Structure 1
Amino acid sequence: MDIPSIKNEDQYEALKDKGYSKEKAARIANTPNAGKKGGNAKPYEAWSKEELYEQAKNVGIDGRSKMTKDALIKALRTN
């Protein structure tokens, strides 16, 4: 079985040091633009449901197709 590579190893290690599980740290570190700084992202409440769905898909949230916009926001914040 191949072990997937981590796109942003520094971010992965920092997240693990903060107490994130290996799985969650890997999902975050492997998302597009992982570790890029900017801080200009709009809050989830300003995203469309389609944008939230795509982000949930990128980080591997199960059951996203049946979620409301509010449920997607909560899942993204707690996953």
Structure 2
Amino acid sequence: MPQKKRGPGPSIKDPEMYEALRDDGESKAKAAAISNAAANSSREEVGRRGGKGEDYDERTKDELMQRAQELDIEGRSSMSKDELIEALRNH
């Protein structure tokens, strides 16, 4: 007997957005958080909010190195500032 596809559950306030985020590879928790935040305000507002972190280009090399260490990026000790930025953006 084929297994029927289950929906995200009653706690998800915007199932369509949740499923789209899951299809894009987001974790269940992240997809739930984003879709519920969008349902509580508006999708447009959630998209505009974004993070509060500085742009990598505005950070010092030491700050970039610290972030690369937190993310355990291999080869970071021999990278230039531009290489660190690229590695962090691609992580």
Band the TM-score falls in, shorter-chain normalisation: 0.5 to 0.7
Cα RMSD, aligned residues only: 2.4
* Bigger Rg, which one: 2
TM-score (norm 2): 0.46
Which deviations, in whole Å up to 9, do the C-alpha atoms of 1:32-67 show, x marking residues without a partner? Answer: xxxxx8722110000000000010010110000000
Alignment of 1:20-59 (within 5 A): 39-59=51-71
One-letter amino acid of the counterpart of residue 61, structure 1: I
Percent identity, please.
45
Closer, same or farther: CA 17–62 of 1 in aligned 2, 3 Å: farther
Separation in 2 of the partners of 1:69 and 1:63? Answer: 13
Paired positions, count: 49
Higher helix share: 2
Q: Which protein has greater RCO, CA pairs closer than 8 Å, 6+ apart?
A: 1
16 and 50 in structure 1: CA distance in 2 versus 1, 3 angstrom threshold: farther
Q: Which runs of 5+ in 1 are unaligned?
A: 1-14, 21-36
Alignment gaps of 5+ in structure 2: 1-20, 27-48
